[in-house]
Amino acid sequence: MKSRRLTTAGMQVINYTMLAAGVLATTLLSGGAAAQGWPTKPVSLVVPFAAGGTTDVLARALGDKLSASLGQPVIVENKPGAGSTLGADIVARAKPDGYTLLMGAVHHTIASSVYKNLSYDFQKSFEPVTTVALVPNVLVINAANTDASTPAELVALAKKATQSMAFGSNGYGTLQHLIGTQFATQNGIELLHVPYKGSGPLTTDLLGGQVAMSFDTVTPVLPHIQSGKLRALGVTTAKRSSALPDTPTLNEAGLKDFDLGTWFGVLAPAGTPEDVLDKLNQEMVKVIHSPDFRDRMAKIGAESIGNTRNEMAKQIDDDTKRFAKIIKEANITVN
């Protein structure tokens, strides 16, 4: 039997073939083939506010259902600070493998214009997954400390006050900050802005009388409105909240062009594989559209959404442009 020798050229051909096969296998594993097995470990959902606020409540409601759907725990991590930008920065720098996600909100589209030195670009550093819910904001006051039943009566008190009345927000560059600024400008009054790291500590101080009012989302203040400790004076969206049907909109109360509500949605770091993003969207939308999740949202004054990735991307783009104009006119900046 004759022995067969490979020439140097033949060996090179074999080596190149093996190399090409290895590259192909690696590509498959890093793409579709690998993503088919995702997730194989717990998924982290970063909330950029303190516990107890609407972002936190929605994230935990979604996480509970999603854990069963994905077959892996979805762990909510609160990373508050800098008007929601600290948590966003953490996720922007995370490995884009689908295991670290951001519970984002409309605040991030505002922060893009307010903060001049952000380490990330909200539209380039993240991949939208889906919008979870829309929650109206509401002007509320401490019922025991502030004697007003309408926005007009509150404005009259502010004009008579020897010191600027304080309103609390979830931080600089959040929607609550913007609404408070617009409310003060339209009514020709000065209000002192007091930023917090989330609705939890803000609501505590509102109940304690440290701030006179807030323009927070309905969810964290609803139980206190129902108990009578807080008084709702007006909803900031164009239509009334289903959770507060007897509370007029600010437009109905005599103000102009108020149609500002807070949406919340999930995003992943840029570079996350497409099939992982698609699976995330599919599983989340399934949860969001389920009757029990919708009922749970309705009880806290939230409207379930569950849209496509492209629809959420358009929403982010539209709001970024919309708020950039408002912020420029109001001259709101944070270094």
**pLDDT by residue (tens digit) across 15-55?**
444 444 444 444 444 444 455 789 999 999 999 999 999 99
Report the 10 Å Cβ neighbour count for 283.
Answer: 16
As a whole number of angstroms, the distance between CA 302 and CA 297 comes to 5
Average pLDDT over residues 4-14: 47
Task: Please say if the pLDDT value at position 11 is more than 60.
Answer: no
Render pLDDT for 218-244 as a digit per residue (tens, 0 to 9): 999 999 999 999 999 999 999 999 999
Q: Check if the beta carbon of residue 111 is closer than 8 Å to that of residue 83.
A: yes
Angle between helices 274-288 and 54-70 (to 10 degrees): 110
pLDDT tens for each residue of 84-105: 999 999 999 999 999 999 999 9
Query: Which residues have a Cβ under 8 Å from the Cβ of 100 and sit 6 or more positions away?
Result: 43, 44, 46, 90, 91, 94, 268, 269
| The pLDDT of residue 253 is above 80 | yes
Which secondary-structure segment (H or E) carries 329? Answer: helix 309-330
What is the percent of the chain where pLDDT is above 90? Answer: 79
pLDDT band (50, 70, 90) for residue 60? very high
Q: What is the pLDDT of residue 61?
A: 97
Beta strands in 14-56 (DSSP E): 43-47
Question: What is the C-alpha separation between 30 and 125, in angstroms, rounded?
Answer: 20
pTM of the full structure: 0.84
What would the two tokens of residue 7 be?
């020439």
pLDDT category at 335 given cuts 50, 70, 90 is low
pLDDT score, position 256? 86
* 3-state DSSP helix/strand/coil % of the chain, to nearest 5: 45, 20, 35
Enclosing H/E stretch for 230: strand 230-235
Residue 333 confidence (pLDDT)? 76
Residue 128: strand pairing partners: 267
Longest dimension (CA), the chain: 110
